[in-house]
């Protein structure tokens, strides 16, 4: 039952991450980073909800899924805010990291 709950949180994180990468202009950034950030945020938020509420990990707990979605949205917005400060706004930029 625990694995089903964690997989549910990951699926919610992937779904929110996919939607966020379609809505937010990534400016050439890899969408997989957005998916990873959303999954991480979903896991952290759902685990925090489970620890605070004491509900435990069940196969279907709507509140933990809602908190997972909120956590992934917050993580995606934060990721975009941090990432957008370091991405150039010029039309043609060469990467200096290569």
Residue ranges of domains in the chain: 2-85
pLDDT in 10s for each residue of the chain, 98 residues? 678 777 877 888 888 878 877 776 666 667 788 788 888 888 888 888 888 887 766 666 788 778 888 888 888 888 877 877 766 566 555 556 65
Q: In this predicted structure, what is the pLDDT of residue 66?
A: 83
What's the CA gap between 32 and 26, in Å, rounded? 11
User: Do 76 and 33 meet the contact criterion of CB atoms below 8 Å apart?
Assistant: no
Q: In this predicted structure, what is the pLDDT of residue 88?
A: 58
Q: In this predicted structure, what is the pLDDT of residue 97?
A: 62
Joined together, the tokens standing for residue 19 give 């939607």
Judging by beta carbons within 10 Å of its beta carbon (0-12, 13-18, 19+), is residue 7 exposed, middle or buried?
Answer: exposed
Q: In this predicted structure, what is the pLDDT of residue 47?
A: 83
Q: In this predicted structure, what is the pLDDT of residue 17?
A: 78
User: Do 34 and 57 meet the contact criterion of CB atoms below 8 Å apart?
Assistant: no
pTM passes above 0.85: no
């Amino acid at each position: 039952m625990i694995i089903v709950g964690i997989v549910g949180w990951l699926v919610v994180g992937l779904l929110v991450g996919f939607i966020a990468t379609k809505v937010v202009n990534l400016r050439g950034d890899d969408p997989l980073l957005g998916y990873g950030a959303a999954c991480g945020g979903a896991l952290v938020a759902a685990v925090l909800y489970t620890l605070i509420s004491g509900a435990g990990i069940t196969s279907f707990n709507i509140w933990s899924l809602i908190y997972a979605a909120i956590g992934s949205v917050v993580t995606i917005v934060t990721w975009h805010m941090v990432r957008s400060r370091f991405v150039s706004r010029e039309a043609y930029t060469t990467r200096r990291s290569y």
